[in-house]
Amino acid sequence: MELSAHAERRAARAGFLQGLDPRIKTLGLLLLVLTAVLVKSPVPLVGLFGFAILLASGSHIGIVGLARRVWLPVLLFTGMIAAPALFLVPGDTLATVPLLDWTITRQGARSAAFLIGRAETTASFASLLVLTTPWPHVLKALRSLRVPLVVIVILGMTHRYIFVLLGTAVSMLEAQRSRLMGPLSGREHRRLAAASAVVLLDKALHLSTEVHLAMIARGYRGEVHLLDDFRTRLSDWIVLAGFLAVAAAALGLQ
Amino acid sequence: MHIPDGYLSPSTCALAYAMVVPFWTVALRRVKELLQTRLVPLLALVSAFSFLVMMLNLPLPGGTTGHAVGIAVAPILLGPWAGMLAISIALFIQALFFGDGGITTFGANCLNMAIAGPLVAYGVYRLLSFKAPLTATRRVLAAGVAGYVAINVAALLAAIELGIQPLLFHDGSGAPLYAPYPLQIAVPAMMAGHLTIAGFAETLISGGVVAYIQKTDLGFLRLSAPGTLRIIDPSEPSAPVVHQRTSRALWAGIAVLLIASPLGLLAGGAAWGEWGIVDFQSEAGREQITQASGNVPPPAEVPQGMERLAGFWIGPIPDYAPAFMRQEAFGYFLSAMVGTGLILLAVLGLSSMLRRRQVRRLLRGP
């Protein structure tokens, strides 16, 4: 949630990626995500990660902020999953942990490096997309990937109402806490959690009825029209060619 | 259970997308017919709810985390097709905007949590709540069991997808290129958490939601209880027409998968664990088994049990290519067609039998 609020602010600033046509940017960054999954050698993976840092710098996205919000959580999550691979993947002995006598294998270390490298690189490109593009523009750009219009509209509305429902959920939790006289037992805690979930669902369903009536009142008859005022310039095509060249170089390097 | 980018190979991701696209297409068409102008706001709000439910992470044994997915709630309230769409939309926003789950693995995550899970949940719920009134306690229990079974099916699928990666994709040195743990590690690691805490979290949420809805607004339970919704007129012409039109894309998807079945021939050797006696006896076969099993060589002799039982059952189309066929690819394709045809016939026969029973019951009256 913090990242999303941060993303809206960043997307409004001037910068290299912010200045691109959202369709070109979405296609280009998705291409780089795919390339990071396709490469089979650590060198191009490191190169792609470096390119992500370069793009972040050119788009005035702080490296420290990116590290705190993206790289560290990914490292902690994937690192926790990848660490046992050092010992569990069979292969040539690289080192032995003193006292425990656990063997780190070369294949295990390589495998863990692949997993962490891919996760960090792909997360960096995906974050660059949302940090430099307002959400409605991301959705409009998805039209160029042939996503049906009605899905785009549902996605946009879902994103909006996630924040509305989140506000409702936070208010509900505050109301519950303010009425508690002491700690709850496990059983009471579970009952409260289930009750909160269903009350939230009830509120969501009521809200959907109200939104539907409001849409009908404003002339909605099931047909969706999306304003699409994007213009692709020559510089956008040059950047897309650059992204393609980076992807081709990464795949050619292995 | 949200698989991030980089954990699955591109071919696994592509296959997962190929499998979910027909379901999305059919679901979108069916839901449009059913909900009309209500589609957009209702799906948006239920997706937003699913998203918030998925944010409730629970710590699980082994260092992983689990959470309720609303995997049974969505299909019970909205029906299986709209449920699929609602969960898919929540997963998409999580993947793209919040970095929970990958973009390349979005198809696989949807296959597990938005397609297979809700379908299983819906089936289990319908089966266990068969003929039960909308206010029956059995419906609460059915929803709880449906949630538990569905989240575990989704987790098992995710574990299988992760577990096959090191067997199929590794570099020259034998280092896994994607998820590094084989099935014998991936499946227990994933299932331990989901059979316990996450499964019970899903049970609690699913059962709790149905119990609450029973007290507040029974109308929301009617989509997943068609027998209690209204008297279905079997002569109503529109229903089967809609069914045929909307199902076309799904059959097209299955046809594409059938046509693509010879791609299986591109994978060299036998699948891991599907070795025959010949594989154990030949030098090349033994080498393949060693490579596929993380450099662990197979036993020197053919396992006694395998030798004893090998001749017990010979399939009608052994190795997907009967002897009379010269073209192995053609045999593979034909085997896929025959196999799928048999499954479809069985499913169609069963559903036709159930429909006839339901119509007879409705015509007989209360």
Question: What residues 150-209 of chain B have any CB closer than 8 A to a CB of chain A?
Answer: 166, 171, 173-181, 185, 204-205, 207-209
Q: What is the pLDDT of residues B277-305, one digit of tens each?
A: 566 677 777 776 676 566 667 667 766 65
| Residue A243 maps to a domain | yes
Q: What integer pLDDT is reported at residue B113 of this predicted model? A: 92
Between chains, do A158 and B43 touch, taking CB under 8 Å as contact? yes
Judging contacts by C-beta atoms under 8 Å, the chain B residues touching residue A29 are: none
Chain A residues with CB-CB distance to B9 below 8 A: 37
Residue that wins the pLDDT comparison between A198 and B357: A198
Residues B150 and B226: their CA atoms lie apart, in Å, by 21
Q: Closest approach of chain B CAs to the CA of A58, in angstroms?
A: 21
**Mean pLDDT score, A138-148:** 80
Which one of A111, A130, A206, A211 would you mutate to disrupt binding with B, by most B Cβ within 10 Å of its Cβ? A111
In terms of domains, do A140 and A240 share one? yes
pLDDT at A20: 87
Torsion over CA: A10, A12, A13, A14 (sign): positive
Residue B155 inside a domain? The answer is: yes
Same structural domain for residues A100 and A116? yes
Q: Select the highest-mean-pLDDT range: A105-119, A167-181, B141-155, B340-354.
A: B141-155
Closest-CA distance of chain A to residue B119, Å? 21
| A12 domain-assigned | yes
My answer on whether A61 and A175 are in the same domain is: no
Residues A79 and A104 in one domain: yes
A36:B5 CB<8 A:
yes
B17 touches chain A (CB under 8 A): no
On the question of pLDDT at B63 being above 70, the answer is: no
Give the gyration radius of chain A's Cα atoms. 23
The reported pLDDT for the residue numbered A80 is 85
- pLDDT: is B276 or A117 the higher one? A117
Assembly ipTM: 0.81
Tokens of B211: 């119990």
Q: Could you tell me if A12 and A100 lie in one domain? A: yes
| B76 domain residue, yes or no | yes
* Residue of B45, B173, B294 with shortest CB distance to A205: B45
pLDDT value of position B73: 87
A159 and A42 belong to one structural domain: no
Residue B170 has what DSSP assignment?
B
- Position B14 in a domain: yes
Whether A224 maps to a domain, the answer reads: no
CA distances from residue B191 to B62, B91, B186, B199 in whole angstroms, order as listed = 11, 21, 8, 9
Question: Closest Cα partner for B142 from B152, B132, B151, B155?
Answer: B132
For chain A, how many structural domains are there in total?
Answer: 2
Q: What is the pLDDT of residue B124?
A: 94
Mean pLDDT comparison of B9-18, B186-195, B305-314, highest-scoring range:
B9-18
- The pLDDT of residue B256 is 55
Do the domain assignments include residue B222?
A: yes
Rounded CA-CA distance B177/B167 in Å is 10
Chain A CA closest to residue B214: A198
Q: Which two tokens stand for residue B78?
A: 């909205």
Comparing B177 with B257, the larger pLDDT belongs to B177
pLDDT for res B15: 93
Question: Which residue from B81, B126, B97, B11 is spatially nearest to B249, judged by alpha carbons?
Answer: B81
The pLDDT tens digits of the residues spanning A32-57 come to: 999 999 988 888 999 999 999 999 99
Tokens representing B199 are 């499964």
pLDDT at B234 over 50: no
Number of Cβ within 10 Å of residue B77's Cβ equals 24
Over residues A87-100, the mean pLDDT reads 80
Name which of A44-58, B42-56, B124-138 the model is least confident about.
B42-56
Q: How high is the pLDDT of residue A14?
A: 74
A44 falls within a domain: yes
Q: Of A7-11, B174-178, B213-217, give the lowest mean pLDDT range.
A: A7-11
Pick A91's closest partner by Cβ from B49, B175, B181.
B175
User: For position B100, which CATH number holds?
Assistant: 1.10.1760.20
Give the rounded distance of the alpha carbon of B59 from its chain centre: 25
A100 vs B280, residue with greater confidence: A100
Tell whether the model's pLDDT for residue B141 goes beyond 90: yes
Residue A192 C-alpha, separation from nearest chain B C-alpha, in angstroms: 10
Section A173-180 average pLDDT: 86
Distance of alpha carbon A164 from its chain centroid, rounded? Answer: 20
Question: Does A161 share its domain with A74?
Answer: no
Higher-confidence residue: A121 or B310? A121
Q: What is the pLDDT of residue B304?
A: 62
On whether the CB atoms of residues A91 and A106 are closer than 8 A, the answer is: yes
CA torsion sign for A164, A167, A173, A174 is negative
Looking at the domain assignment, is residue A138 inside a domain?
yes
Task: Judge whether residue B244 has pLDDT over 60.
Answer: no
pLDDT of residue B148: 93
Distance CA B185, CA B179 (A): 11
Within an 8 Å CB–CB cutoff, is residue B284 touching chain A? no
Residue B170 phi/psi, 5° resolution? Answer: -145, 160
Question: Nearest Cβ partner of A40 from B42, B177, B209?
Answer: B177
pLDDT average, residue stretch B81-92: 89
When mean pLDDT is compared across A16-25, A140-149, B230-239, B247-256, the lowest value belongs to B230-239
Neighbours of B145 (CB within 10 A): 20
Q: Which of B185, B180, B115 is nearest to B150 (CA)?
A: B115
**Cβ contacts (< 8 Å) between A111 and chain B: which residues?**
166, 175-177, 180
pLDDT at residue B230 above 50?
no
Interface test with B, best of A39, A74, A107 (most B CBs within 10 A): A107
A40/B171 touch (CB, cutoff 8 Å), yes or no = yes
pLDDT, residue A49, reads 93
- Mean pLDDT of the region B116-140: 90
Say if B265 falls within a structural domain.
no
- Closest A-chain CA to B7: A115
| Stretch A157-169: mean pLDDT | 88
From B47's Cα to the closest Cα of chain A, the distance in A is: 6
CB-CB contact of B87 with B69 (8 Å): yes
pLDDT value for B346: 59
Helix axes B117-128, B80-98, angle to 10 degrees: 150
Residue B236: the pLDDT is: 39
The pLDDT of residue B246: 42
Which of B40, B85, B168, B295 is the mutation pick for testing A, counting most A CBs within 10 A?
B40
Measured from the Cβ of residue B82, the count of other Cβ atoms closer than 10 Å reads 24
Q: Nearest C-alpha of chain A: how many angstroms from B321?
A: 32
Provide the pLDDT for residue A201.
Answer: 82
| Total number of domains constituting chain B | 1
| Whether residue A179 is found in the same domain as residue A59 | no
Per cent of chain A over pLDDT 70 is: 91
Cα separation, A91 vs A107, in Å, equals 6
Q: Are B332 and B320 in contact (CB under 8 A)?
A: yes
pLDDT exceeds 50 at position B137: yes
Res. B342 pLDDT band, cuts 50 70 90: low
Answer whether residue A223 is part of any domain. Answer: no
- Across the interface, do B5 and A126 touch by the CB < 8 Å criterion? yes
| Cβ atoms of residues B173 and B155 within 8 Å | no
| Whether residue A79 sits in one domain with residue A153 | no
In a domain, B213, yes or no: yes
pLDDT at B110 exceeding the cut of 90 = yes
Which structural domain, as residue segments, surrounds residue A52?
A: 2-145+230-253
Mean pLDDT computed over every residue of chain B? 73
Q: Are residues A103 and A176 in the same domain?
A: no
Shortest CA distance from B40: residue in chain A: A154
Residue B265 has pLDDT above 50, yes or no: no
pLDDT of residue B112: 93
**Three-class secondary structure of residue B329 per DSSP:** helix
pLDDT tops 90 at residue B140: yes
In angstroms, rounded to a whole number, what is the distance separating the alpha carbons of residues B265 and B262?
5
Q: Is residue B226 part of a domain?
A: yes
- Per-residue burial over B316-331, b if 16 or more Cβ lie within 10 Å, else e, is eeeebbeeeeeeebeb
Residue B324: the pLDDT is 46
The model's pLDDT over A194-214, given as tens digits with 9 standing for 90+, comes to 778 778 888 888 888 888 899
* Cβ atoms within 10 Å, residue B12: 23
Residue pair A251/A35 in contact by the 8 Å Cβ criterion: yes
Q: Which two tokens stand for residue B120?
A: 């299983």
Residues A80 and A98 in one domain: yes
Q: Which domain holds residue B61?
A: 10-238
Q: Tokens 């969706």 identify what position?
A: A224
**What secondary structure letter does DSSP report for B298?**
P
B150, B117 Cβ separation under 8 angstroms: yes
Closest C-alpha to B99, from A17, A74, A250, A90: A74
Is residue A130 one of the residues assigned to a domain? yes
What pLDDT does residue A152 have? 84
- Among the ranges given (A219-233, B188-202, B235-249), the one the predictor scored with the smallest mean pLDDT: B235-249
* Residues A14 and A96 placed together within one structural domain of the fold: yes
Distance between CA atoms of B93 and B12, rounded to whole angstroms? 22
Q: Which of A6, A198, A216, A220 to mutate to test the interface with B (most CBs of B within 10 A)?
A: A198
Chain A environment of B49 (Cβ under 8 Å): 165, 200-201, 204
Residue of A nearest to B91 (CA): A155
Nearest to A208 among B41, B68, B85 (CB): B41
Of B6, B10, B64, which has the smallest distance from its Cβ to A115's Cβ?
Answer: B6
The DSSP secondary-structure symbol of B303 reads: P
